[in-house]
Structure 1
């Protein structure tokens, strides 16, 4: 029997496998997850068609007979993949009787195993364990993915995914590139609920909300945060406010590699130094779509109110300049803009906006208020209007914590801050 040794990409085999099982996965509502160790080469030599046939048979059998809603296919290989090594394909916790599994394997994949020169491993705690030998594509080619530019190294990731298995799998893939990864709400809380240190935020699509996108859009004005949604393959694209791109399931080492390149391809050749002087605090567990079907207990709502009022009180005590010319000129110069032009633009846009703000607060038009606050923050920050920018940040906190009953006092506060700023801007323009 002639053994075929053609070059193939293991990721393409896995993606094809995922697609071929789509019907039965959807019928039984099963999540198929790939758990790939960093030792798996991207390119191999062997018979990819027969490999696909074996995996398809095995996973079809498992899907047909399991009562689990989550199936994990794990791939592992020796640390030193020198020339030809066994790759282990294992599936655990299928809830299928061991005798039934062995009977199926003996009857249905022996022919393919002979072609591949592989074997069934019986003395293992996995329900299914196949060892299949493949050759590496190039001798001495040990590290299988290399990022093309130094600017793509040293990133920090926050991953919010309710499925712990998927989260663990994605975490390992990012760590392959030596990325620092925090997983889950508890890890984020340990960082003080501060998004400032992170380069990438990955969130389950079903947890995302329009409100949260507005929050991220505000934060992206302060830090270059890449917001990525973890999506099912069949989810239709929708218009988003702050999402940079999507990471589509099933996640493989290849898709993480491509994600990193797509996020940072325009920053090659330079290392970005970010300022940690200002924190970007968000209570992710509160603002994401987590357990929203359950009404918040009264005492918890009271604690949130107290926390918010405390944060606002701290901000109130800060003495900030009405118009910091040095900051404004630096901001506009970095963006290739004219400071004078942006001051005039602010006047044209916001000179009578206190009347509009009062009107939308009275109307309780949430969407208009959110849009207004995001726009106000962006323009105030650009020209160095530090005091008004802080007020806009406070308004955003009120939306984050859903304490809209605190809003009625702010049209008056905004009117006073706006008048002071307009006076300073007009003085600055007269000096030109």
Structure 2
């Protein structure tokens, strides 16, 4: 079998993997963490499509069968990656029966492993352990990420995250660039609650408050502290007074590299001597504990629901025409149809459909809701019914993420929008 040796970026593959697992991750409320050794080359040669398929199969199986809320995918490689070396992919502590895991690996991965020339490693303390050989893109290339300026070297980071495992994974990635990283409030307290030595402050976005932002902004008047929010990929950004940028989970070596470059690309080459002042003393523990005390515990699925609601709210703010005849005429013309005929077809198909929609929502008939939304979107888009189209897309969004409990308000909304649209169509067709 001919082995494919195409060039690919391991970070891009890992982010694609993360996105492809979005639905099951959110359904199970599982956080996927990448733990990458500094020896992993940035660019590799091999069959990335098969590797992506294999890792997707593995993580889908793990997510379906684990009761853990954090799963770590570890990537390890030899210290001297000379030419072609094995990369180890490991997953530990899944709480899945070992025999079930081995049966899955041997039954479902054999073809992909053969194509990659990989093998299963049987080790008692590791649930899943695969060795897959890849070629390095550039021979003798030891440092896979090189900071472009001296001003980016020798920085100190304070990292305060919700998950210890996520924090330690990110710390390891900063350590690659020889950054000194303190993790957690205890480490910060041991330094006297003083932000003066730090170049970067990274805090989980759920802990961020307007009060904290004002405190950090005051500190930033004294020292060039970069304030970074650690956030998941569904976070809706808002304007802030002190936040420099965001680090999106799951972090990879490349995303940390890009973060550093973006933060310090305009810095001078020398580091200013900083003088400790009382203004840089901040009791972060007190601030964050107050925030946690006031905040009800939110599990991952509830947090995701809140972010989904935010996306829906943004859609509501968009002001669209009830019937955009110009767009509708262009759409029908492209398809060789007559606009007036399609308006009549919409009336025939969807007049009184608000009653049917209310019924299937009350029944929570998933299949019927899906079919109705697809049909409504198709016809609404064709005739330029922009407002109805937006509503149908929003309902589809709720359906896709299996949040049917958010649906009850939409039959009423659809009734109102449908009546407006029917009135506009009748005006266009001059029907009384």
Tell me whether the two structures share a fold, i.e. TM-score over 0.5.
yes
Q: How many angstroms does 1:276 deviate by?
A: 1.7
Aligned counterparts of 1:210 and 1:277: Cα–Cα separation in 2: 25
Could you list the per-position Cα deviations for residues 45-102 of structure 1 after superposition, in whole angstroms to 9, with x for gaps in the alignment?
A: 1110010010000000000111111110000011111111110000001111001111
Aligned to 1:370: none
Distance 1:123 1:11 in 2: 27
- Runs of 4+ aligned residues of structure 1 deviating over 3 Å after TM superposition are none
Distance 1:277 1:96, change over 3 A: closer
- Give yes or no for contact 2:123–2:129 (8 Å, CA) kept in 1: no
Q: CA deviation at 1:142?
A: 1.2
Instruction: Name the structure 1 match of 2:293.
Output: 292
Any unmatched runs of 5+ in structure 2? Answer: 297-432
Residue of structure 2 equivalent to 1:234: 234
Q: 3-state SS of the aligned residue for 1:292?
A: helix
Q: Report the alpha carbon displacement of residue 222 of structure 1 after superposing the two structures with TM.
A: 0.5
Query: In structure 2, what is the equivalent of residue 146 of structure 1?
Result: 146
Q: Indicate conservation of the 8 Å contact 2:88/2:132, yes or no.
A: yes
Q: Which residue of 1 aligns with 2:177?
A: 177
- The answer as to whether partners of 2:207 and 2:292 remain within 8 angstroms in 1 is no
Structure 1 equivalent of residue 56 of structure 2: 56
Corresponding position of 1:282: 282
The answer to whether structure 1 residue 193 and structure 2 residue 193 are counterparts is yes
After the TM superposition, which residues 333-348 of structure 1 pair with which residues of structure 2 at under 5 Å, given as runs? none
C-alpha distance in 2 between matches for 1:214 and 1:191? 22
Contact between 1:223 and 1:274, CA under 8 Å: does it hold in 2?
A: no
SS in structure 1 at match of 2:243: coil
> Partners in 1 of 2:292 and 2:231 — Cα distance?
19
1:205/1:294 Cα in 2 relative to 1: closer, same or farther (>3 Å)? closer
Q: Within 1, Cα distance between the matches of 2:135 and 2:228?
A: 35
d(CA) in 2 for partners of 1:65, 1:93? 12
Determine the C-alpha separation between the residues in 1 that align with 2:169 and 2:276. Answer: 33
CA distance in 1, matches of 2:130, 2:84: 16
Q: What is the CA–CA distance in structure 2 between the aligned matches of 1:198 and 1:62, rounded to whole Å?
A: 39
- Counterpart CA distance in 2 for 1:175 and 1:213 is 27
Contact 2:76 2:87 (8 Å CA) reproduced? yes
What residue in structure 1 maps to residue 13 of structure 2? 13
Residue 271 in structure 1 maps to residue 270 in structure 2: yes
2:122 maps to 1:117: no
Once the two structures are TM-superposed, the CA of residue 278 in structure 1 deviates from its matched residue by 2.2
Task: Give 2:325's aligned residue.
Answer: none
Change beyond 3 A, Cα 1:21–1:294: closer
Give the whole-Å Cα distance in 1 for the aligned partners of 2:295 and 2:171: 30
1:146 deviation in Å? Answer: 0.3
CA positional deviation for 1:9: 0.3
CA RMSD, aligned part only?
Answer: 1.3
Q: Separation in 2 of the partners of 1:66 and 1:277?
A: 48
- Residue 24 of structure 1 corresponds to 24
